[in-house]
């Protein structure tokens, strides 16, 4: 079983995700979440990825979760 | 068409054996309402003929529940008279007999009972003393929520969002703030509680961190900074102060807002960067936000909840709600976002009152 990802490591992976995908037109946000007790990177999408395009499930050894959140509006 | 005047003075324009067309059904309904139901409804009220619990006359209606008429959807190509009965005693009796006779039995009768205007929850009504969770807003917006009460420069202030108190930077210092908010009936003079005093302006070409503002509360307006009315399982709780500077994914949180009231949620992410939020003026980018999903059966927040204070399970302030979406999160009930409260208070140079 792989060791739990620390917050420090997850933050480094988040920075790498932002650098790599900042220009993704449907990117809705990138944050830190938890998966199975360890930290992970969460990528939010305003729209699903186009057919054939895929985001990595892991970056720098840190799990990546992806969620389609749609449009976010002031409330 | 042959018209028959019945014993009750109404014309019978729907002879037996003829299928009731929509137009006939509408005409019959109109005649029965005018000739039978409306007079009965008013008469019953004027002679006190129907049971009514004792209450002040000023709150008593001059119109009593009786029978409502409409047109029921067609069955087998034939329309029927829809009869909606609001009192059990009227299901049988002379009024119902006359209606059924006039419609030649082509009726669909349903007991609907008392129909009340849906009562407004406390957080959309005028509330004095002012409470966290109550409706409020700049006089030119719809309505948002009072998050908390703060002190700045010796003055008591309401804490909420820029887009609630400062109208997305269109407001000016001194602009009136009302409780409840304008869309909840707040009037510029009678419901004034204070004025816009401080806020963090939005940036269109750089990342934003905050959507927050303060309104100084007028002298003489009472407020309770700690009462969190009905927040946990419908019971009142008290705001205990500031929570830790960092929240963690999985933390349980609560909020009280003008739209969805008391809701429970769970932090799904923090340190959220590159969050794009639709405002009236532009799409703005935010960094360092807290993401929350519902931990209940309804969304954690909705339009009008902006400005709500987010508290953790210890009733400590952790965030200021400002935006959300309808997709994602537990049971696909949507996600909500909040500014970290320590950043909010630091930028506004304000101290949370507890």
Q: Is A27 a domain residue?
A: yes
Tell me the helices (H) and strands (E) count for chain A, helix number first: 1, 5
In B86-186, at which residue ranges do the beta strands (DSSP E only) sit?
Answer: 107-111, 135-138, 144-145, 148-152, 155-160, 176-178
For Cα atoms B256, B257, B260, give the angle at the middle one, nearest 5 degrees. 105
Instruction: Find the mean pLDDT for residues B257-267.
Output: 98
* Cα distance between residue B110 and residue B235, in whole Å: 38
Q: Is A58 a domain residue?
A: yes
* Pairwise CB contact (< 8 Å): A28 & B326: no
Q: Closest-CA residue in chain B for A74? A: B323
Q: Is A28 a domain residue?
A: yes
A27 to chain B, closest Cα gap in Å: 8
Instruction: Find the mean pLDDT for residues B214-229.
Output: 98
| B263: contact with A, CB 8 A cutoff | no
Confidence band (pLDDT; 50, 70, 90) for B116? low
Complex ipTM, two decimals?
0.96
C-alpha dist (Å) from residue B209 to B149, B202, B316, B340 = 21, 9, 21, 9
* Pairwise CB contact (< 8 Å): A73 & B278: yes
Which pLDDT belongs to residue A33?
98
Q: Which of B269, B289, B303 to mutate to test the interface with A (most CBs of A within 10 A)?
A: B269
* Cα distance between residue B37 and residue B29, in whole Å: 10
At a CB cut-off of 8 Å and minimum separation 6, what does B237 contact? B228, B231, B315
| B327: contact with A, CB 8 A cutoff | yes
Expressed as residue numbers, the domain containing A58 is: 7-68
Residues of A in contact with B259 (CB under 8 A): 75
For helices B22-32 and B94-102, give the axis angle rounded to 10 degrees.
Answer: 150
Which candidate from B271, B328, B337 shows the least CB-CB separation from A32? B271
Q: Is A2 a domain residue?
A: no
| A6: contact with B, CB 8 A cutoff | no
pLDDT value at B54 more than 60: no
Which candidate from B161, B268, B327 shows the least CB-CB separation from A33? B268
| A9: contact with B, CB 8 A cutoff | no
B295 to chain A, closest Cα gap in Å: 16
Q: Is A40 a domain residue?
A: yes
A29 to chain B, closest Cα gap in Å: 4
At a CB cut-off of 8 Å and minimum separation 6, what does B34 contact? none
Q: Is A49 a domain residue?
A: yes
Q: Which two tokens stand for residue B96?
A: 């119902």
Which pLDDT belongs to residue B44?
59
Instruction: Find the mean pLDDT for residues B148-163.
Output: 98
Residue-level length of chain A? 75
Q: Which two tokens stand for residue B299?
A: 């969304």
A contact residues 26-65, partner B, Cβ 8 Å cutoff: 27-34, 39, 42, 44, 46
Confidence band (pLDDT; 50, 70, 90) for B287? very high
**pTM summary value:** 0.75
Q: Tell me: cis bond preceding B129? Omega within 30 of 0 counts.
A: yes
Of B15-29, B204-218, B336-350, minimum mean pLDDT range: B15-29
Contact yes or no for B91/B112 (Cβ under 8 A): no
Q: pLDDT tens digit string along B64-97? A: 778 889 888 776 677 889 999 888 888 888 889 9
Main-chain phi, psi angles of B236, to 5 degrees: -70, 145
Rg, C-alpha atoms of chain A: 13
Confidence band (pLDDT; 50, 70, 90) for B51? low
Which candidate from B249, B268, B303 shows the least CB-CB separation from A75? B303
The percent of residues in chain B predicted with pLDDT above 70, rounded, is: 87
Task: Classify B143 as helix, strand or coil.
Answer: coil
* Pairwise CB contact (< 8 Å): B276 & A11: no
**Residue B325: Cβ within 10 Å count:** 23
Q: pLDDT tens digit string along A9-67? A: 999 999 999 999 999 999 999 999 999 999 999 999 999 999 999 999 999 999 999 99
Q: Is A14 a domain residue?
A: yes
Question: Regarding predicted confidence, which is higher, B347 or B109?
Answer: B347
Main-chain phi, psi angles of B159, to 5 degrees: -105, 130
Element (H, E) at B354: none
Q: How many CB pairs under 8 A join A and B?
A: 100
pLDDT value at B57 more than 60: no
Q: Is A75 a domain residue?
A: no
- Specify the number of domains making up chain A: 1
DSSP states along B205-216:
SS-B----EEEE
Q: Which two tokens stand for residue B207?
A: 């990342």
Which pLDDT belongs to residue A2?
56
Element (H, E) at B100: helix B94-102
Q: Which two tokens stand for residue B47?
A: 């002679």
Q: Which residues of A17-50 are buried (b: 16+ CB within 10 A; e: fewer)?
A: bbeebeebeebbbbbbbbbeebbbbbbbbbeeee
Question: Regarding predicted confidence, which is higher, B345 or B49?
Answer: B345
* Cα distance between residue B251 and residue B277, in whole Å: 24
């Amino acid at each position: 079983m792989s060791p739990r990802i620390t917050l420090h490591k997850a933050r480094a992976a988040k920075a790498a995700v932002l650098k790599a995908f900042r220009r993704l037109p449907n990117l809705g946000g990138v944050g830190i979440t938890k998966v199975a007790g360890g930290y992970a990177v969460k990528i939010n999408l305003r729209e699903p990825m186009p057919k054939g395009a895929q985001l990595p499930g892991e970056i720098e050894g840190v799990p990546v979760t992806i969620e389609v959140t749609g449009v976010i509006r002031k409330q | 068409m042959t018209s028959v005047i019945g014993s009750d003075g109404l014309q019978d324009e729907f002879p037996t054996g003829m299928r009731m067309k929509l137009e006939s059904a509408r005409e019959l309904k109109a005649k029965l309402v005018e000739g039978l139901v409306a007079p009965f409804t008013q008469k019953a009220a004027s002679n006190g003929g129907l049971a009514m619990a004792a209450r002040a006359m000023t709150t008593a209606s001059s119109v009593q529940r009786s029978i409502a008429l409409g047109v029921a959807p067609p069955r087998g190509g034939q329309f029927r008279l829809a009869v909606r009965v609001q009192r059990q005693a009227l299901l049988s009796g002379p009024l119902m007999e006359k209606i059924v006779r006039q419609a030649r039995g082509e009726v669909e009768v349903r007991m609907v009972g008392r129909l009340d205007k849906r009562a407004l929850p406390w957080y959309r009504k005028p509330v004095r003393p002012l409470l966290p969770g109550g409706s409020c807003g700049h006089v030119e917006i719809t309505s948002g929520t009072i998050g908390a009460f703060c002190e700045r420069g010796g003055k008591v202030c309401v804490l909420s969002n820029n887009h609630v108190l400062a109208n997305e930077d269109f407001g000016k210092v001194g602009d009136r703030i009302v409780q409840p908010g304008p869309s909840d009936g707040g009037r510029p003079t009678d419901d004034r509680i204070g004025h816009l005093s401080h806020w963090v302006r939005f940036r269109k070409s750089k990342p934003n961190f905050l959507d927050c503002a303060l309104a100084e509360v007028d002298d003489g307006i009472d407020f309770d900074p700690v009462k969190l009315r009905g927040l946990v399982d419908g019971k009142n709780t008290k705001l205990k102060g500031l929570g830790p500077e960092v929240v963690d994914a999985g933390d349980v949180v609560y909020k009280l807002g003008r739209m969805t009231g008391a809701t429970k949620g769970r932090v799904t992410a923090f340190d959220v960067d590159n969050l794009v939020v639709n405002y009236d003026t532009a799409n703005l980018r935010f960094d360092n936000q807290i993401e929350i999903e519902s931990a209940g059966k309804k969304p954690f927040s909705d339009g009008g909840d902006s400005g709500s204070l987010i508290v953790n399970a210890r009733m400590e302030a952790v965030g200021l709600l400002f935006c959300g979406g309808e997709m994602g999160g537990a049971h696909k009930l949507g996600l909500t976002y909040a500014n970290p409260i320590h950043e909010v208070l630091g930028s506004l140079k304000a101290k949370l009152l507890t």
